[in-house]
Amino acid sequence: MKQKKMKLASKDVKIMFETNLQNIQQIAISSLSADDFKQQLLKDLHLEGEIPLSPDKENLKRLILHDGMTIKEASTEKMIKLETITCLYNFLTGKGNIEDYNPDFLFDVYKQFEESTCSQSTLPDKKQMIRWMKRWDSGTDSKIIEIRKENKQRIINRLIERIDKHQYEKSRYAFPPGISFIEKQEMVNKWWSDFRFHLSMAARSSRELNHLMGDTFSDEMKAIYQTAKKKGIPIFVTPYYLSLMDISENNYDDAALRSYVFYSQNLVDTFGNIKAWEKEDQVEAGKPNAAGWLVPEGHNIHRRYPEVAILIPDTIGRACGGLCASCQRLYDFQSGRFNFDMEALKPKITWDSKLKQLMKYFLEDKQLRDILITGGDALMSRNASLKKILEAVYVMAKQKHHDNKKRPLGEKYAEIQRVRLGTRLPVYLPMRINDELITILSDFKKKAIKIGISQFFIQTHFQTPLEITPEVRDGIRKLDAAGWTVTNQLVYNVAASRRGHTAKLRRELNKIGVLCYYTFSVKGFEENHAVFTPNSRSLQEQKEEKIFGQINATEATQLIKNLNNNGSHEKGINQLEKKFDLPFLATDRNVMNLPGIGKSMTFNLVAIMPDGCRLLAFSHDSTRRHSPVISDKPIVYIKENKSLAEYIRQLSDMGEKISDYSSIWKYNTGKTEPRFAFYEYPKPAEEYTTDYSNIDQQSH
Ligand code: SF4
């Protein structure tokens, strides 16, 4: 099948049906109605009854049986009628104007029928996967390091102009009068290794952004940013991060960097109407959230699972080291709750008493084991603030441990076993990992381990191997030496979804001792249209590329031993990869964060909408505990915001070979992968109570 440019017209697909799927065309013509067509398909394709079917036939049967159903789509909460087969019937029998049928819809439906009759794709082998990996550069390659030295110098020169022009008198980053340009360069070079310099000099307007990018913005980008300005969308990109980009656009492919911090037209158009994708993040005083949890007032705690609470402090931690274009908290930036006004975000006096209240909530909770301190960005909090928060967590956890001693067996509350810091600063600003921070983290670990906290994670967020620079490597090594495990959560946007890109990222992360934790599908709202990758591609990656890094039980046991005993994650991981000849470790799970039910990749394709977008029926991840409210939850229906055909066209425009992705159409059923055992909570010495607290009793 030739589909080089994936630019088919409806009449082309009609010819494809007439040529390659004559039987389907014939069934349509001989059917009296769409309902009759469905019945005939079930009969003629032998899809009736309870007999086990191949996955492709099962998929077809599902599309037929869902036709005519009306469902509530979870992200928009709109009722949608599913009419995949009815639309196909109308098309094949010549009803309406042929040009009114979207070719993206028609082609995907065609592929579903084609797969069920003549599925013949082969899986890529390891050699092919390695070839795909080799296409991508890493930030530690000497060629890239050299180019970035020049980038840095160019940016430093521009910053000198800016400092000269504005004469930041009160700033610590001002030049003494009368010094030469060379001396200025030396000063800025020194400031470059101080993260505060980057925060203070971050581009906050499109003009500054373009200036630091060597005035290379296209007219299209300028127009997007002009609208962004009118709409009041914050802009915040640090000089360090900008120095990673290739302004010549000839040296290396930096699309994954650009699409992460530069805004798309969709984002700018939608800003102002962005909603929380994860409904449980919407908190109303005194009311349970979408997962049934009662959380204290004030947007400081988000909660989905029984064991986990997300703590968002009222500190500079409500800012970030950059504004990520696909951020799931964009609605918080939209409301101004998160922002880049570092002065205004300094903790108020009331924060101390609020922190006490939040710890009381944790202390009295019966199921909580895991606190994820995030924001914004946990490491944006100053060291003193972070120390205070960690100390509060320690005191609370110690008290919980102590209180449990008095409780009888069967009534013991869950104790805190894991503390996590959610941060992208190791990527945006590796110089943030300074000695003082390392002392705080190692001191906390030393005492927390004595009261039963045994897992210490820095949960970070690398998008591309180009983000792994020598500075990053040094920072990660320091965190590793402090005894904190660094894990990665990747957002699987279009640039990151290109063949071999994620595999290479896993490889490069493993090299510096970082374990992969999640590969997240981009949430499906319109603001993310440009960067959204359909879930079928994530499944394809999971089955065709990531598979070469999967570890069996023996390897997993050995790895956990290495991680726990070796003292260095970098060594522990690399020893294992060498021993078992693994290209990387696939310790992450490909998942989508779903409104109301948490993460899952367990879904079925149930319809293809007239615009070509797929409608997926998700069920929650059965491998982990959920809020008791979730057990009654029905299937969650999600309409993706981009058709597979549109996605493939995007890849093609980026220079990808379409044939490399040709099996994508058949990925229509997903299953959430099991969790790597290292990410499980340790078994407590004495069983915890099965009772819940802080849950809405009515929904329970
Ligand atoms: S660091 Fe996290 S919270 Fe901050 S903008 Fe990026 S994705 Fe959003």
Mean pLDDT of 12-23: 96
Nearest to 445 by CA among 479, 422, 472, 401: 479
Mean pLDDT of 204-229: 95
Distant-in-sequence, close-in-space partners of 235: CB < 8 Å, separation ≥ 6: 203, 204, 205, 206, 208, 209, 225, 228, 323
Q: Is the CB of 376 under 6 A from ligand 1?
A: yes
For residue 376, give the ligand 1 atom closest to its CA.
3
- What does the DSSP 8-state code read for residue 63? H
From ligand 1's centre to the CA of 326, what distance in Å? Answer: 8
pLDDT score, position 403: 96
Residue 278 confidence (pLDDT) above 80: no
Cα 208 to Cα 456: distance, rounded to the nearest angstrom? 38
Protein residue with its CA nearest to atom 7 in ligand 1: 327
Of residues 644 and 286, more confidently modeled: 644
For residue 375, give the ligand 1 atom closest to its CA.
3
pLDDT score, position 699: 54
Least confident of 78-82, 272-276, 406-410, 668-672: 272-276
| Residue 151 exposure: Cα atoms within 13 Å on the Cβ side | 20
From ligand 1's centre to the CA of 523, what distance in Å? Answer: 14
Mean pLDDT of 305-326: 90
103 close to 627: Cβ distance less than 8 angstroms: no
Distant-in-sequence, close-in-space partners of 118: CB < 8 Å, separation ≥ 6: none
Query: Please, where are the H alpha helices in 305-412?
Result: 330-335, 350-364, 383-406
Bridge partners, residue 476, by sequence: none
Give 120's pLDDT tier (boundaries 50, 70, 90). low
Protein residue with its CA nearest to atom 6 in ligand 1: 324
Residue 523 confidence (pLDDT) above 70: yes
pLDDT score, position 27: 97
In order of 19, 74, 92, 595, 641, the CA distances from 278 in angstroms are: 45, 10, 39, 4, 16
Of residues 27 and 121, more confidently modeled: 27
From ligand 1's centre to the CA of 463, what distance in Å? Answer: 12
Cα 270 to Cα 526: distance, rounded to the nearest angstrom? 7
Give 3's pLDDT tier (boundaries 50, 70, 90). very low
Nearest to 522 by CA among 320, 337, 259, 310: 259
593 close to 328: Cβ distance less than 8 angstroms: yes
Cα 489 to Cα 589: distance, rounded to the nearest angstrom? 10
Cα 224 to Cα 218: distance, rounded to the nearest angstrom? 10
Give 333's pLDDT tier (boundaries 50, 70, 90). confident
For residue 491, give the ligand 1 atom closest to its CA.
7
**Interhelix angle 10-20/103-118, nearest 10 degrees:** 20
From ligand 1's centre to the CA of 29, what distance in Å? Answer: 53
Least confident of 21-35, 555-569, 598-612: 555-569
Q: Please choose from 237, 320, 459 the residue to mutate so as to test ligand 1's pocket, defined by most ligand atoms within 8 A of CB.
A: 320
Q: Is the CB of 424 under 6 A from ligand 1?
A: yes
Structure tokens belonging to residue 115: 């797969």
497 phi, psi to nearest 5 deg? -90, 5
44 close to 23: Cβ distance less than 8 angstroms: yes
Per-residue model confidence as pLDDT tens digits over 665-691: 999 999 999 999 999 999 998 899 999
Q: Please choose from 262, 311, 327 the residue to mutate so as to test ligand 1's pocket, defined by most ligand atoms within 8 A of CB.
A: 327
- Reading phi first (left if > 0) and then psi (alpha if -120 to 50, else beta), residue 183 is in alpha
Give 2's pLDDT tier (boundaries 50, 70, 90). very low
Torsion sign, CA atoms 226, 467, 483, 547: positive
pLDDT score, position 326: 85
Per-residue model confidence as pLDDT tens digits over 45-84: 999 988 899 999 999 999 999 999 999 998 888 999 999 9
From ligand 1's centre to the CA of 321, what distance in Å? Answer: 8
Protein residue with its CA nearest to atom 8 in ligand 1: 327
Strand order in the sheet with 370-373: 301-303, 308-311, 370-373, 418-422, 455-460, 485-492, 515-521, 589-594, 598-600
pLDDT score, position 700: 47
Give 633's pLDDT tier (boundaries 50, 70, 90). low
pLDDT score, position 1: 42
Instruction: List the chain domain ranges.
Output: 142-270
Cα 342 to Cα 582: distance, rounded to the nearest angstrom? 44
Torsion sign, CA atoms 229, 231, 234, 238: negative
Residue 138 confidence (pLDDT) above 50: yes
pLDDT score, position 219: 96
Q: Is the CB of 359 under 6 A from ligand 1?
A: no
Least confident of 70-79, 141-150, 395-404: 70-79
In order of 148, 241, 244, 530, 694, the CA distances from 512 in angstroms are: 20, 19, 18, 31, 40
Bridge partners, residue 616, by sequence: 605, 638
Mean pLDDT of 176-191: 96
Q: Please choose from 281, 316, 323 the residue to mutate so as to test ligand 1's pocket, defined by most ligand atoms within 8 A of CB.
A: 323
Cα 643 to Cα 534: distance, rounded to the nearest angstrom? 7
Mean pLDDT of 159-185: 88
Instruction: Examine residue 376 and say whether the peptide bond preceding it is cis (omega within 30 degrees of 0).
Output: yes
Nearest to 326 by CA among 274, 282, 283, 280: 274
Per-residue model confidence as pLDDT tens digits over 474-522: 999 999 999 999 999 999 999 999 999 999 999 999 999 999 999 999 9
Instruction: Tell how far CA 604 is from the center of its chain.
Output: 21
Residue 109 confidence (pLDDT) above 70: yes
Nearest to 589 by CA among 521, 665, 636, 504: 521
Q: Is the CB of 302 under 6 A from ligand 1?
A: no
Q: Is the CB of 327 under 6 A from ligand 1?
A: yes
From ligand 1's centre to the CA of 460, what distance in Å? Answer: 10
Cα 560 to Cα 554: distance, rounded to the nearest angstrom? 10
| Prediction pTM value | 0.94
Residue 105 confidence (pLDDT) above 90: yes
Name the average pLDDT for the chain.
Answer: 92
From ligand 1's centre to the CA of 208, what distance in Å? Answer: 21
Rg of the chain over Cα atoms, rounded to whole angstroms, equals: 27
Per-residue model confidence as pLDDT tens digits over 341-373: 888 888 887 889 999 999 999 999 999 999 999
Residue 645 confidence (pLDDT) above 80: yes
- Look-up of token digits 């982990």: 624
Pairing of strands 614-618, 636-639: antiparallel
394 phi, psi to nearest 5 deg? -60, -50
From ligand 1's centre to the CA of 374, what distance in Å? Answer: 9
Residue 419 confidence (pLDDT) above 90: yes
Mean pLDDT of 80-104: 97
Nearest to 333 by CA among 342, 343, 323: 323
